[in-house]
Chain A
Amino acid sequence: MIIYFIAALSSFLSGMGIGGGSIFILLSILFNILDLNEARTYNLLLFISVGIIISLKNFKQINNQKSKYLKGIFFIGIGALTGAFFSKYVPEKILKILFYIFLMIIGLYEIIVSLKNIKLDKNNNEKGVY
């Protein structure tokens, strides 16, 4: 039953575009509900379903900018196939650690810039009021 709660939470966060997929994998492994392969498979299923519903919801916008979307799919798709092909030959653990550190830096950068912008907005609003 708990897997469905985790799925609901991660789908909601995925729909917001803030990385719900990683939460599904992490929580389902931490609670010992699934092994890594199962967690990754179910996570991909959740991610694809959320993507389909978002694409249907924004179909008009996507249709208006068809070439932009197709180019994105084409280039990222080429990269994904290349990455999947080479995944067998690269030292996974070292790469994973480096990638997590890189993502952490990105997260910290997001936090700092967002806090700065929130403060800036607050100051601008106060100036507007007084």
Chain B
Amino acid sequence: MKYIIFIFIGIINGLFTSGAGQLLIFYLIYILKKDTKKSREYSLSIMPLISIPTFIIYCLKSDIDIIICIFLVLISLFFGFLGNIAMKKINSNVLNLVSGIFLVVITVVSLWRTL
């Protein structure tokens, strides 16, 4: 069953390119009852690897600036690392609450833009 859900999450990733990580985290935390922080790290280690082929396809489709790319990589390495350290210091329930609020706000704005 778990792997069927994983395939479904992958399909969502392939179709929409975003949101699948949150789905995986939800499944691990609330359905499988796994530890919040380990689940988020598990998702963070897996989902970017799966995004590499999609990134290559998008690179071919869009006109991207290599200088911006270099700065973005440096920024994301530094702030991603800081974010991960901060995550470990925040209470799991507070983390899930913030995550839920972000998810609702983002989906409401995205829905409003789509309609």
Interface size on A, residues (CB 8 A): 85
Chain A residue with the shortest CB-CB distance to B80? A50
Q: State whether B26 touches A22 (Cβ < 8 A).
A: no
Q: Tell which of A45, A55, A90, A111 has the most Cβ of chain B within 10 Å.
A: A45
In the complex, what's the smallest C-beta–C-beta distance from A37 to chain B, in angstroms? 4
Query: Is A127 positioned at the interface, with any CB of B under 8 Å from its CB?
Result: no
Interface residues of A, Cβ cutoff 8 Å to B:
3-4, 7-9, 11-23, 25-26, 29-30, 35, 37-38, 40-55, 57-58, 61-62, 68-69, 71-73, 75-87, 90, 93, 95-97, 99-101, 103-104, 106-111, 113-115, 117-118, 121
Q: 18 interchain pairs (CB within 8 A)? A: A11-B75, A15-B86, A25-B18, A37-B61, A53-B81, A57-B84, A77-B49, A79-B13, A81-B14, A83-B11, A84-B54, A86-B14, A100-B114, A110-B26, A110-B97, A110-B99, A111-B101, A121-B93
